[in-house]
Amino acid sequence: MDLETVMERAGPREFGPGDELPEKYRKAATRMIQFHANSEVMGGYLDKTFTRKAPSLDRKLANTAKVQDEIGHAQLLYRAAETLDVKTRAEMLDELATGEGKFLNCFHYPVDSWYEAPMIDFFVDGGAMRRQATLKSTSWTPYAHAMDKVCFEEGFHVKHGESILRELMNGSKATQERMQETFDVWWPRILQFFGPTNDESVHDDFAQAVGLKTATNDELRTSFLNMYIPKAEKYGLEIPEYPRIYERDDGTMAVREDDLDWKEFWTISRNEYEGSTEQIGSRRRRQDAVEWVRESLETWESSAGPTPQTAD
Amino acid sequence: MIWEVFRQEEPGDSHEHVGNVHAPDREMATLFARIQHARRMQTNSLWVTPRDEIGEVTAEEAAFGGRTDKSYRWAMTYNDIDASFAEEVADSESEQREAARKRREALREEENEA
């Protein structure tokens, strides 16, 4: 299939492993899904910190279940990416370890307090779920199938995250103040979650033309603001004055891009931020520590695994 | 040789198991599968695979999802939180509610039989 045909046919769940697709499509899809899978891994690693910080057994259990889910999502996504025949799972995991693999900006900031749990589990996950719901209609079918299962599970994460926020904002005045301070730090990062405005985004045009992406960064950011600002305010959080948020003529919300630190954002996107090194390094050390497990699995697979002879 | 047959209705759907055919090789298996499982039913694609190649684990051997209380990992547990503000969160919750209901029913049946 040539690129022109791909663009003509582009639609929800239009292409699958049975189609011969141009390299440009397969590479763009791999880039996108690999980024998504990496983010699930790095989000999971970040989230596991909260199990230790969680104030009750219920919260610890829920958090453990969430981390389990996120790592499971990564597995689904690496499989969906592998079906494009551009990179193997091992290659993608290695790239994540060497610092070549890219992932979401919010997961480059190490966390160390329970107050940060709702930042990740409610706001970041809520934003991610907005985007993931639109990806159920992506043109790469294995990706869409992965989104079906991911979205099925995410509802628990977002509700649990909101429940933590609610609990903390019903706490003492000191607790509420700490929550507000944490929110002030995280809010600009969360606003950058959806990336720069459309005209500055490098990959959007092609991804949309071939149906990989079905909503623009701008649309996602706008709907996120319309849903999540009222939530923050409902629990008594004040939206910081900067970055300024304004209402457009059509009633939707937008951010003044100049108020955000794009230098930091682009440093992060190159994995060159201080936190990037810390997060990537801590995951790499854990990957190295279980190298013997992968090795023994591989030895087993190549020596004692089932032979495909009966199938042929 | 027995071949299990999986049918995909529309492009983009998952392949679902619809039955099996008896055939000497893969080519004949696809032919029989077409005749038996795709003659009337709307079909976009068929998969056939030798039954021997399928690994199975049943509810008798495994306690799927465990038997201890794991309510903390369901969206419905956090019932002081209203999911309706975001369509995707509400959808996820109703999918989970349906899955939990089916699971409860199965467990109840299991208890009744015991």
CB contact under 8 A, B83 and A58: no
In which band, very low, low, confident or very high, does the pLDDT at A67 lie, cut at 50, 70 and 90?
Answer: very high
B48 shares a domain with B84: no
Contacts of residue A13 in chain B, CB cutoff 8 Å?
A: 11-13
Residues in chain B within 8 Å Cβ distance of A229: none
Looking at per-residue pLDDT, the higher value among A93 and A251 belongs to A93
Residue A245: is its pLDDT beyond 50? yes
Check residue B67 and give its pLDDT: 77
Note the pLDDT of residue A305.
Answer: 53
CB-CB under 8 Å, A13 with B12: yes
Do the domain assignments include residue B34?
Answer: yes
**Which chain A residues have a beta carbon less than 8 Å from that of B89?**
126, 129, 154-155, 158-159
Q: What is the predicted pLDDT for the residue at B62?
A: 87
Pairwise CB contact (< 8 Å): A126 & B89: yes
The per-residue pLDDT for B104 is 86
- Average pLDDT over chain A reads 92
Where residue B11 sits, what CATH number does that domain have?
3.10.20.520
Alpha-carbon distance B20 to nearest alpha carbon in chain A (angstroms): 15
Q: What is the CATH number of domain A3-302?
A: 1.20.1260.10
Distance CA(B18)–CA(A193), nearest Å, equals 43
Residue A133 CA to residue A20 CA, distance in Å, equals 27
Write the CA distances from A148 to A199, A230, B33, integer angstroms.
30, 27, 28
**pLDDT higher than 60, residue A199:** no
pLDDT at position A257 is: 86
Contact B80 A306 (CB under 8 A): no
Query: Across the interface, do A12 and B95 touch by the CB < 8 Å criterion?
Result: no
CA dist list (Å): A116 to A119, A186, A283: 5, 8, 20
This prediction has a pTM of 0.88
Peptide bond into A17 cis (omega under 30): no
CA-CA distance, A43 to A36, in Å (whole number)?
10
Contact call for B75 and A162, based on CB within 8 A: no
Q: Looking at beta carbons, which residues of chain B come within 8 Å of A132?
A: 88
Could you tell me if B77 and B48 lie in one domain?
no
| ipTM (interface predicted TM) | 0.75
- Give A-chain residues touching B99 at CB under 8 angstroms: 152
The answer to whether A221 touches A191, Cβ cutoff 8 Å, is yes
State the residue for tokens 């929800």: A12
Pick out chain B residues at pLDDT < 50.
none
Residues B48 and B77 in one domain: no
pLDDT higher for A63 or B73? A63
Q: Which residues in A have their CB inside 8 Å of a CB on B? A: 12-14, 16, 18, 58, 61-62, 65-66, 69, 126, 129-130, 132-133, 141, 144-145, 151-156, 158-160, 162-163, 166, 227, 230-231, 306, 308, 310-312
Q: Do both B11 and B45 map to the same domain?
A: yes
CB contacts, 8 Å: B13 with chain A:
13
pLDDT-derived band at A202 (thresholds 50, 70, 90) equals: low
Residue of chain A nearest B12, judged by CA positions: A13
Picking from A116, A119, A122, the residue whose alpha carbon sits closest to that of residue A159 is A122
- The contacts of residue B93 (CB under 8 Å, 6+ apart) are A155, A159, B75, B76, B83
Strand-pairing partners, residue B85, are none
Q: Check residue A173 and give its pLDDT.
A: 97
Q: What is the signed CA dihedral for A239, A106, A144, A22, rounded to 10 degrees?
A: 120
- Please give the C-alpha separations between residue A19 and each of A181, B11, B14, B29, B86, in angstroms, as whole numbers: 51, 12, 16, 23, 35
Residue B49, domain member (yes or no): yes
pLDDT of residue B32: 92
Sheet holding B45-50, edge to edge: B16-22, B2-8, B45-50
The reported pLDDT for the residue numbered A71 is 95
Model pLDDT, residue A198: 60
Q: pLDDT grade, residue A254 (50/70/90)?
A: confident
Same domain, B49 and B77: no
Cβ contact, residue pair B92, A306, below 8 Å: no
User: B57-66: long-range contacts at Cβ-Cβ below 8 A with a sequence spacing of 24 or more?
Assistant: B59/B106, B59/B110, B65/B103
> What average pLDDT does range A166-195 have in this prediction?
96
Kindly list the domain boundaries of chain A, sorted by start residue. 3-302
Number of structural domains found in chain B:
2
Binned at pLDDT 50, 70 and 90, residue A311 comes out as: very low
Q: Using 50, 70 and 90 to split pLDDT, how confident is the model at A304? A: low
CB contact under 8 A, B11 and A158: no
C-alpha torsion sign, points A274, A129, A86, A26: negative
The verdict on a CB contact (< 8 Å) between A18 and B45 is: yes
Note which residues in 47-106 of chain B have CB less than 8 A from chain A: 49-50, 52-53, 70, 72-75, 77-78, 80-81, 83, 85-93, 95-96, 99
**Is B72 in contact with A152 (Cβ distance < 8 A)?**
no
Residue B10 lies in domain: 2-53
Residue A203 has pLDDT above 90, yes or no: no
- Which residues does chain B have within 8 Å of residue A156's beta carbon, measured at their own beta carbons? 73-75, 77-78, 92, 96
Both structure tokens of A249: 């003529």
Indicate whether B47 belongs to any domain.
Answer: yes
- Joined tokens for residue B90: 């509400």
